[in-house]
Chains A and B, each alone.
Chain A
Amino acid sequence: MLQRLPHLLGIEDLNREQITFILDQAKPFQEFQRYPLKKLATLRGKTVAIAFFEPSTRTRISFATAAARLGADTMAFQAESSSLKKGESLVDTVRTLEAMRPDGMVMRHSSSGAPEFVASRLDIPVLNAGDGTHEHPTQGLLDALTIRDRKGKLDGWNVTILGDILHSRVARSNIHLLSKFGARITLCGPAMWVPRELENLAPNLRRSLHVEEALDGADVVMVLRVQTERLHEPALAPEEYIQGYQLTAERLRLAREDAIVLHPGPMNRGLEIESAVADGEQSAVLEQVTNGLAIRMALLYHLVGAAAVDAPHPAKERTNASD
């Protein structure tokens, strides 16, 4: 069960039950976002290190807010202002943070596998907020929650993921998650960003290089950011991408009438997605943000809240606490 998970490093190694548990646990935290007073004392006295070795505003703020609303304190660490630039190794940076005794660490890093590297050296839970092009598990989970809420269930949908799949950790996490729930996934984008090998990543996965074909009959359309900041790659001219793959209102009509549109954000309006679609009724983008908070609160509650297995055993408490 999730409650025994020491870290959250990726979706690939979670099973249906664990994923469902996290989504279910996010529900009370979704409601919580509507309370006038959004402050719990559940994680009071706990400190969560928010270690972002790669720039990010939204995810970082989302995690920091989640921790704060649970009553925890945060220790913020950002690469731009850090000694990492001065050549301090990841091992040393992490050990320095650890010496300040946080109760958990949320980590984003540009190297795939870095959170796993760190988790193997620390005694505290590590939550992966995105590592290289490997996984972004909380994004996958909040996307799943959004789908489940909007469509009533999570199983068996036709999902089209549109964009630079090769370099997208969001795509990978979603592929791992949705395939465990029987989704039929179509990966669509320019040929050099959707290598054939991707089809072997999970069952029921197919690749399409043509957006019309890919959108036909889709229940969920996930649009990925065009990442202009990825290097080592000859770029594709924006006009080329727009012409071939932009999600326009017209193209969206090829999908099912009640299809929903997701985007991990931040959106390049006018590039991968037309403004009309981003703001339209089918867009679930804002719910994704709220759900992100709920998912992250649920995860912090369970992973950081759970005490160490070898902590001293208190006197057996009186029962008659309502169950």
Chain B
Amino acid sequence: MLLIKNGRVLDPATNTDEVRDVLLHGELISGVGANLSGDGAEIFDASGMIVAPGFIDLHCHLREPGQELSETIETGTRSAARGGFTAVCCMPNTQPVNDNASVTRGIVERAAASGSVRVWPIGAASMGSKGEALAEIAAMKAAGIVAVSDDGKPVANSRLMRQVMDYCDSLGLPVIDHCEDASLFAGGVMREGLQSLKLGLKGIPAQCESICVGRDVAVAQLTGARLHIAHMSTRGSLDYVRWAKKQGLRVTCEVTPHHFTLTDEDVRYDTRYKMNPPLASREDRDALIEGLADGSIDAIATDHAPHHAASKDVEFDRAPFGITGFETALALGLTELVIEGRVSLMRLVELFTTGPARVLGMERKLSPGQPADVTIFSTEHEWTYNAADSPSKSRNTPFDGRSFRGAPMATIVAGRVVYRR
């Protein structure tokens, strides 16, 4: 039994913002109220801290199976726990691609054996994510996937996308798309704009993403299925999503912390600023922040993409895309959004909890009978992020050495404290 005392409970599902105690028994929440007591319970003093439902990361890369040099389920989930995440959805672009039940089971088993937090795999949409034939989605669903995606690439063929959406809808799974038009992407390495011109780096126009978002929205309209836009980064894409929501389509979207923090102006030749979608213009970044505030954007997701040091220690053109993100996500949300007054604290918690939960078709709240997944954080604690201290195997982050006010303080998964600062 674990009794979390005197924390400020922020529970978006019940619109609670009160100082309350939370009692955990076994793997479930057994009580939320004032002045609770639990005989023999271990006490966690959460005075001065926020107590929220356990955070969910809709988008990350754990690199296992096949790319364990950069990360494993064990190291990745330990990093996720340090970031306050109680559950992470890992993308299928592993080696082999998670396009069948046996790979899915393998991931689930590894997670049970060595994971610090819940791991909910996302299965591929097409075999090998080649964009040709449907993957074994139903079998994977039985093995435990929570969504479907060919992340790393879009499902480019519209006819196939339609089939994927129809099929997944019948199985109750959302389709997550990495939106990109290959011909406009054409070897680009950063956002096309004045900065890319100055640096002499091949640019990717913003419309490379939004063209595909528009197409996806149209197919969602055709099928009525659940569509979720991964790592959305431009105002153009957001406009399409807003339109879709107005039409009553079941379209949702996520934004990464680096996309609401950095812009293309931050790119020089440091490969820790190279990711896909690339850092966008200031206008895009500001539009995303507005969308986070007004509810058009449903979730914050990290797209944690570890790459071992040697692979990133090359010329900008040749470096792989991606940065890590578990451990700085909340801090960036607090610093860039809440402290700046753009977004309320409750809304931020939503973006990490009920928002992602809704995308997955589940609930997330601090009520008796719910899973004992709790994220406890401080809005005051000052700290400096030092990538070398991270349990992740990779250090590819532009936020190394950055100071923050606000940090995850404890992460509780199924009643167990998996991280404590």
Contact = CB atoms under 8 A, between A and B. Distances in A.
Interface of A: 12, 89-91, 109-114, 116-117, 131-135, 166, 169, 172, 195, 197-198, 200-201, 232
Contacts of A135: 200
- Contact-residue size bin, chain B (C-beta under 8 Å from the other chain): 10 to 19
Contacts of B317: 110-112, 132
Contacts of A131: 200
A98 B312 CA distance: 21
| 9 A-B pairs with least C-beta separation | A134-B200, A113-B269, A112-B200, A111-B315, A133-B200, A111-B317, A114-B315, A232-B187, A132-B200
B242 interface: no
Interface in B70-96: none
Given A112-B317, A232-B187, A195 B269 contact: no
Given A197-B193, A197-B194, A112 B201 contact: yes
A201 B200 CA distance: 12
A109 B317 CA distance: 11
Contacts of A134: 199-201
A111 B190 CA distance: 13
Nearest to A110: B317
A39 B268 CA distance: 40
Interface string B172-202: 0000000000000011000001100111111
B315 A201 contact: no
Contact of B197 (A89, A109, A132, A197): A197
Contact of A90 (B193, B200, B315): B315
Contacts of A172: 198, 200
B368 to A, nearest CB: 56
Interface SS of chain B: loop
A321 B420 CA distance: 71
Interface string B337-360: 000000000000000000000000
A201 B314 contact: no
24 contacts: A12-B198, A89-B313, A90-B315, A91-B314, A111-B315, A111-B317, A112-B200, A113-B201, A113-B268, A113-B315, A114-B315, A132-B200, A132-B201, A133-B200, A133-B201, A134-B200, A134-B201, A135-B200, A166-B197, A172-B200, A197-B193, A201-B197, A201-B198, A232-B186
Given A89-B314, A112-B317, A172-B198, 13 more contacts: A90-B315, A109-B315, A111-B317, A111-B318, A112-B200, A116-B269, A117-B315, A132-B200, A134-B199, A135-B200, A197-B193, A197-B194, A201-B194
A48 B199 CA distance: 27
Given A116-B269, A232-B186, A111 B316 contact: yes
Contact of A112 (B187, B193, B269, B314): B269
A201 B194 CA distance: 7
A206 to B, nearest CB: 15
Nearest to A120: B269
Contacts of A116: 269
A12 B200 CA distance: 12
Contacts of B318: 111
Contacts of B202: 232
Nearest to A199: B194
A317 to B, nearest CB: 41
A172 to B, nearest CB: 7
Contacts of B193: 197
Nearest to B315: A111
